[in-house]
Every structure is written in structure tokens, then in C-alpha cells.
Structure 1
Amino acid sequence: MIRSKTNHRRQSQRYNHEDFDDDPKTLMGLPPSEKTSEFWKRYDRQADVHDTKMTGDLSENLDVLLIFAALFSAINTAFISLTMPGLSSDPMTEANALLRLLVTSANNNTLLPTDPPPPFAPSPNSVIVNCLLYASLSCSLLAAVGAMMGKEWLQGFDRTGQTGPLEEQGRFRQRKFNGVQQWHLESIILSLPNILLLSVILFFAGVCLYLFPVNRAVASVVIAFSGGGAALCGGVIVAGAISPLCPYQSAASRGLKRVGALFSSW
């Protein structure tokens, strides 16, 4: 887990955060040089607190996302192994047809001309099911790759091990933080669960379509539970987007809120 350490080892201007307070009145009456030094000490302290919380929270979210994406991809792959044979012809079916032709010809002591078998064409349901499952697997893997890259991005923002004058470190940190805001790093990382949520929706849609021609009773149960879960999840997301005081805030609700604000501005 990536966390910035508040007790960085400095080669110069070492200090203890507890040696001063954050009251602006303490800067009054100090010489200009001491004011500058005190300002950067306070800046470094506040930056450490902010960076530790931001990188720690984002890193924990990415850890959970990576675990869920790995487990979900394994489940998705297992279902794909069941539906994949429907996209190609069964060799046993062709072999049985040839054996039947040979047996019929042997009984009649003649080889009857037969029309060539029609080319294999997968059923539309099989094509749609595999498209949904493969799209779901692609989304989950994309979310996992994004999570791994996000861990690297957070590690690049970490200030552990930096050395030099405190003012130079503070200015360098501020430039990096401005880049984080300019390139929307936090928003991109927080949007990764939305990709995984889309993957789950595609997976359940594919499973329901796969089960419906096999057994309608089983398919009805899966559709009922998945539909109820989707309705509950959608209601929670909408509630979080509508009310800022709603405790059910998530990346999806924040994204929905931004989309609503964009449409309202038109």
C-alpha cells in the first residue's frame, strides 16, 4: 500500500511537526527570513497530511478493485468456456453424419449421392451471449490494468526520500500537485469502479440470455435476482447523485451528478 510518510528524512532543514502550531498569529513579529522558513514548514506539514490521506484512500480503493477484478475475471472465463463451443461446429456431429452415410450405403450396397451438409452457422443467441461475456471480460481486465497503472501513478506522486532545501521540496511538490489536478488523476482513478460495474452488468445480461433457451425456470430466477439487484444498485446511485447528504456516495453517483450538471448547463 502506497502511503507518504510524514517523517521524511531531510538532508537539510530537519524539524519536528510538533515544534510549531498552525496559528497565523505566530508569524507576526518574525523576521522575513524566519517567516519564509516557518511558512514552508507549515506548508510541508499540511501537504504531508493531504498527500497521505489522498494516496492512502486511492490506494485502498485500487487494492479492493484489483481483488474483485481478478475474482470476477476468473468467473467470467469459466462461463465463456461453456458458451464458446456454440460458435463453432461440433466435430462429433460431423463424424456421426459421415458414419450414418457409410452405414446407409453399406446396407444398400451402393453409394447414394447426397447433398453436402450446409455450412455451420452459430445461432444468434450464442453470438449475442458470447459478445456480452467477452465484453464483460474485456472491461474487467481493463479496470485491472487501470488499477495497476494507478498504483504506479500514486507511487510517482509519493514524496518519500526527497532531499534538499525545504522550500525547493515544497515548490516541486506544488508543481506535481498542480499536474495531478490538471490531468484529473484522482477523477480517473475514481472512475475505474464504473468500468467494473459495467462489466458486471454485461456479465449478468449474457448469463440471462444463455440460460433462457436452456431452462426458462432457472433463467427466470436469475433474471429476477439480477434485475432486483440492478434496480437496488441503480436507486442507490441515483440517490447519491441527487442528494449531497446521502451517505451512499460512489464513483457512479458522482459521475451521474456531473452528467446531470452538464445537461442542465445546456
Structure 2
Amino acid sequence: MSGSATQPHGGGGTEPVMGTPPNRAEESTKQIDAKGTNIPQEEFDEYGTELGEHARVWKTYVREADKFDTEQVDGWNRSLDVTLIFAALFTAICTAFVIESSKSLKVDAADQLDQITKILLVVANVNDSQLDTTGITASGSFSPRPIDLCINTLWFFSLILSAAVSLIAMLAKEWCYLFVSGRIGDPWSQTKKRQQRWEGIKQWKMEHLIVILPSFIHMAFLSFAVGLCLYLRDLHWGLAVPAACVTLGLILVYVASTLLPLFKKMCPYSTSISRLVQRLRGDSKDSRFTYESHSRIAIEALAWLIRTSEDPKSTDIALQAIAGADPDDKARQLLMKCSANTMIVRRLINLESYSTNYNQILDLYTRAHSFFQPLSTGAPTALSTVLPTDLPTDPPTAPPTQNVAATPANRKLRKNLRKLRGIIDKQITTHADPSHAFLPTPENIQALRIGSTAASYCLRSLQYGVQVQTREQFDSAVELLESYRNRQAHLGTREIQYLMTGTAMLLSSLLVGCPPDMGARYAMRLLRIFGRASSGQNQLQLKHLSLPMAVYALSRYDYPGWTQPPPLSSISRAERAIEMIAHYV
């Protein structure tokens, strides 16, 4: 989603905005004018969705991951090709030597025939002078020499090891193909699938296996060379021991590669048998994710992108996406390991005020910088320690009563808003699916859009104070309700429900630090719409008014009994209102 969804509508560009950066309205007007002249604009995410499922960072991730994985898998395949070719040739050579050397481990048939002939001559009472009886030996007295056993053991071990390496190399090439195959869908789906596979490769040390595989060929060659020097041996029970060990190990690897994917979905090893079982069993490749797992995978993907990307623009987008992350100690430590905090500070210092989209970029880096502040600190976001005194600090923060962006309570409210946005987005997406009875009229779409984007307006208001865009969005919701009441617009019951949910969220933001008389006017506008309808009007059900009125009540009074003792700040009251909305949604 682009930033155009949060641009002012109508004449909002000339209205003064409380707590907004200077020239914000002018910049919005310039962007609109530029779009009118078909000047390409840099795409920005909707406020607060920089790490959402439709964020631009995932497009960058997919692009960078494709380049990285192509290079990585090509390297693995080249290594495996060399190993496979050498193993095949070496196996053929070793087989020829083993065939010849194994003859020394058995009694020679010609010698046995000669022995039988001599015995028959003795039995026939042939003249002793014509028969050398000293050459006759007792049958069954043949035993292989130790040197024959040693060399054949080494050669048979070399043969079975090279054959095993050939089979494992073929399996590994198949694993490499499975790693890069099947990446379809939207960027976040591809990111999720790719990151899970990559984490599985790291967890199960697949890369280590590919790297160490040629060493087994080296071991086989060494065994063959030593055996070639010793040159002789015979069949013995000890001969089967090393071959049995390698064979048993190969069987274990193959069985494990077959069974592990059936129980561990992230395991990158597999065989054709396991894939067939999975297909017959109907295993789904896409598993359900909680909000926490979504955040964890997103942070891991960001850290990987920052650490490996060689494209400065891709790194910038990844760093800016941190602005949409929920503060968490583990996530913070993971990103600090790849020096993300240092990169953000450097970009803040080097950011020029005349650069394109300066206000938006500075806002993203400022919020990303606040992500690295410890949760225990209650100080507001301040960049005076890292910014030079002559650098413009636009966008400035709102008055202290309205902007406490770095306080733990405010961070908790932001997290609750993001969770609520995710819940509403899923519900709206399900409702608007073509398989459902959704009528895509402009009014229905506008109602769903207000419900879906309300959280972003609330997040922006938390950063800078109440924005003109938030008021305009609330006005749009009220006007849409009035149009429905006057039968100038058609809205379905579910659309009204989502519209009122978004209206309640917008109202919770507007009431933060709001004078009582102004807050009462917001409530009265809604009450008038839900009053008794006259002839020729639609009657709105009062149950749809419950959420906004509950939000208004919770914003005016402390109502003891909540998790925080009174007196409550306006932010704490807003947090309580959002929790109430999430409970009923």
C-alpha cells in the first residue's frame, strides 16, 4: 500500500495541522500535482504498515533473496556436480581394481584342478618316480594372507564410500532445487516461505553437509591409494565391517531424510518417498501464523536483508521498515547484531533537507531510531544526541501531552493498534472475498477502507498529535453514514459494522488531549445520525453506535477496575478503548 492512501483530501492542505511538521501540507500538494503530471513518485507504505504483509520491503526482500539464492544454489550445484562426476569415475576405476584384487582372496581354480589331478594319480598307483608328492597339500588349508585382507578392505571401503557419496550428492541437488522452487504468490508469502526454508537450512546444517561432502571422496581416494600401495588381501569377516558401517550410515541418512520432513516441516532434507507421503496425506505448505510468529519472521528477514544486501537502496528500505516494528528486546538485539542502529544514525546525520521525500524519510528513520530505545526508558524520542545542531529536525514532535512516542504505555498502545489492524484486515479480506455475498459498490468499498485504515491514522496521531487527515477521515465516515441515512448510498450490514469499528478507532484518537466540548461535538454528530429516522430515511440500528459511545465514555472518565490505577492519562484511556474494541471485534 502506498502512502497516497493517507494524503489529505479536499481542501485539507490549507488547514493548520496541530503537531505536524512544517510544510507537510505543501509537500502533499506538491505530490498530488506531481502525480497529475505523471511524474513518477517513490512508493511509501501506509503509515504504520512498514512491516505489514503488503509492505514494500518484502518486494525488495524477494528481489535480493532471489539474487542471493541463485548465486548460493549455483555454487552448491557446481560443487555437487564436480563431486558427482569424480565419484562416478572413481567408483568405476575402483570397481576394476576390486574385481582383480578379490581374486587373491579365493583359492585359484587352476591350482585346485592341479591338486585334484595329483591326488588322482596317487590313487591310481602311478610310479613314484613320475610323481612329486611334495606338491600335494591337504584340501581346505588355503587362507588369505593378511596383506590381501588389508588391501581389499581398503578398496571395498573406498568403493562403497564413493558410491554413497554419489547417492547423497544426487539427493543434495534435489534439496537445492526444492529450496528455490515453488516461490509464487505475493511478496510476503514468498518472503515467509523463503525465510522458513532458509532457517531450516541453517538449523539442519544443510550447507555444512554440502561443503563436507567432497571430503568423503578425498577419504575414499586416500583409502584407495593406501590399498594400492599394500596391494593384497583376502575375504574375511573384518572386510565387511567398514563397508557395513558406511552402508548403515547411508541407510540412516536416507531413512532420516524420509521421516524427518513428515514430522518437522522446516527440515530441508527430503526424498521422493517423503514427498509422495506428504502429497498423499494432503499436508498444506502454508501454516497458520500468530501475530508473534509474523513479527519474528519479519525481524529475521529484515536482519538477513540488512546483513547480506549489497544494494544501498535495498538497505535503506530495510532500515526504514524498522519504523513499523514492535519494540522487543530479542528483536532489538538481533537487529543490533547487524549494526542496524548504527546505520540508522549515520543516515539521519547525512540526510539532506532538500532531498526528495525528505519529511517522509526523516519520519521513518526517526521512528526506526526510537525502536532501539530500551523499553524501560520513558524519555521521548530525541535525536539531539546524534543530529548536528544545524540539521532541520522536521518532523518535530507534538506537545508533551500528546506525543509520548517512546513511553512504554504508548508503545503498548501501538502494538495493540497493529494487532487490531491485523484482525480487522483479515475479517475484511474474508468478507470481501468473491465467494461471499459482497457487493463492490463505491460506498461499500469506502466503508471497508475506513475500517481497514483507521489504525494507521491512529498511529500517525500518536506520533505527531491529532492530524488533519484523521479529522477528515472521521468526517468522511460521518458523511457516509448521513448519505446512507438519507438513502443516497447503499451499505450492507457488515459494511456498516466495519465502518463503525473504524469510526470508533478514529474517535479514540481524536479524543486524546481533546477539550471536553470538542469531544462532545464528535459524539453528538454520531447521535444525531442514529436518531429516529423520518419518512424517506433509513433507520440505523443503535447497536452499531455501541462501540463509538463506549470509546467516548472511556475517554472521559477513569472507571476504576482496569489494569492501571487511576488517575489515567489520555493515552492510557485510549489504550483501554482500543482493548475494548479488540475484545468485541
Same fold (TM over 0.5): yes
Alignment of 1:124-135 (within 5 A): 124-135=146-157
How big is the shift at 1:49?
1.1
Q: Which of these residues, 96, 110, 126, is aligned with residue 107 of structure 1?
A: 126
Alignment of 1:13-32 (within 5 A): 30-32=45-47
Q: Could you tell me which amino acid in structure 1 is paired with residue 180 of structure 2?
A: D
Partner Cα distance (1:164, 1:184) in 2:
28
How big is the shift at 1:45?
1.1
Instruction: Give the equivalent residue in structure 1 for 2:193.
Output: 172
Partner Cα distance (2:167, 2:47) in 1:
49
Partner Cα distance (1:140, 1:162) in 2:
34
Instruction: Give the equivalent residue in structure 1 for 2:208.
Output: 187
Using the aligned pairs only, state the percent identity. 33
Partner Cα distance (2:145, 2:227) in 1:
14
Matched, 1:52 2:73: no
SS of residue matched to 2:126: helix
Partner Cα distance (2:69, 2:168) in 1:
21
The higher-RCO structure (CA 8 Å, 6+ apart) is: 1
SS of residue matched to 1:45: helix
SS of residue matched to 1:32: coil
Distance 1:115 1:194, change over 3 A: closer
Q: Could you tell me which amino acid in structure 2 is paired with residue 32 of structure 1?
A: Y
Instruction: Give the equivalent residue in structure 2 for 1:254.
Output: none
Matched, 1:117 2:139: yes
SS of residue matched to 1:163: coil
Alignment of 1:1-266 (within 5 A): 30-32=45-47, 35-36=50-51, 37-104=55-122, 105-108=124-127, 116-159=138-181, 161-210=182-231
Deviation string 1:114-133 (CA, Å, 9 cap, x unpaired) is 98434321111111110000
Q: Could you tell me which amino acid in structure 2 is paired with residue 63 of structure 1?
A: D
How big is the shift at 1:68?
0.5
How big is the shift at 1:135?
0.6
Q: Could you tell me which amino acid in structure 1 is paired with residue 152 of structure 2?
A: N
SS of residue matched to 2:184: coil
Q: Could you tell me which amino acid in structure 1 is paired with residue 220 of structure 2?
A: S
User: Number of paired residues?
Assistant: 181
Partner Cα distance (1:115, 1:81) in 2:
27
How big is the shift at 1:144?
0.7
Partner Cα distance (2:126, 2:198) in 1:
85
Q: Could you tell me which amino acid in structure 2 is paired with residue 66 of structure 1?
A: L
SS of residue matched to 1:80: helix
Deviation string 1:186-213 (CA, Å, 9 cap, x unpaired) is 01111100100000000000000018xx
Q: Could you tell me which amino acid in structure 2 is paired with residue 153 of structure 1?
A: W
How big is the shift at 1:101?
2.4
Q: Could you tell me which amino acid in structure 1 is paired with residue 167 of structure 2?
A: V
How big is the shift at 1:100?
1.6
How big is the shift at 1:185?
0.6
Distance 1:87 1:76, change over 3 A: same
Deviation string 1:9-28 (CA, Å, 9 cap, x unpaired) is xxxxxxxxxxxxxxxxx78x
Deviation string 1:15-53 (CA, Å, 9 cap, x unpaired) is xxxxxxxxxxx78x6533774531111111111111101
Partner Cα distance (2:222, 2:75) in 1:
26
Partner Cα distance (2:172, 2:151) in 1:
31
Deviation string 1:189-247 (CA, Å, 9 cap, x unpaired) is 11100100000000000000018xxxxxxxxxxxxxxxxxxxxxxxxxxxxxxxxxxxx
SS of residue matched to 1:89: coil
Partner Cα distance (1:115, 1:196) in 2:
44
Deviation string 1:95-120 (CA, Å, 9 cap, x unpaired) is 101212223434249xx9x9843432
SS of residue matched to 2:107: coil
Q: Could you tell me which amino acid in structure 1 is paired with residue 65 of structure 2?
A: A
How big is the shift at 1:139?
1.3
Partner Cα distance (1:143, 1:60) in 2:
15
How big is the shift at 1:91?
1.9
How big is the shift at 1:154?
0.6
- TM-score, normalising length: structure 1: 0.63
Partner Cα distance (1:32, 1:120) in 2:
88
- TM-score, normalising length: structure 2: 0.29
Partner Cα distance (1:32, 1:172) in 2:
26
Q: Could you tell me which amino acid in structure 2 is paired with residue 210 of structure 1?
A: Y
How big is the shift at 1:87?
1.2
| Higher normalized helix content (fraction of residues) | 1
Partner Cα distance (1:93, 1:115) in 2:
11
Q: Which 5+ residue runs of structure 2 have no aligned equivalent?
A: 1-41, 233-585
Distance 1:65 1:115, change over 3 A: closer
Instruction: Give the equivalent residue in structure 2 for 1:240.
Output: none
How big is the shift at 1:149?
0.7
Partner Cα distance (2:80, 2:71) in 1:
14
Q: Which 5+ residue runs of structure 1 have no aligned equivalent?
A: 1-25, 212-266
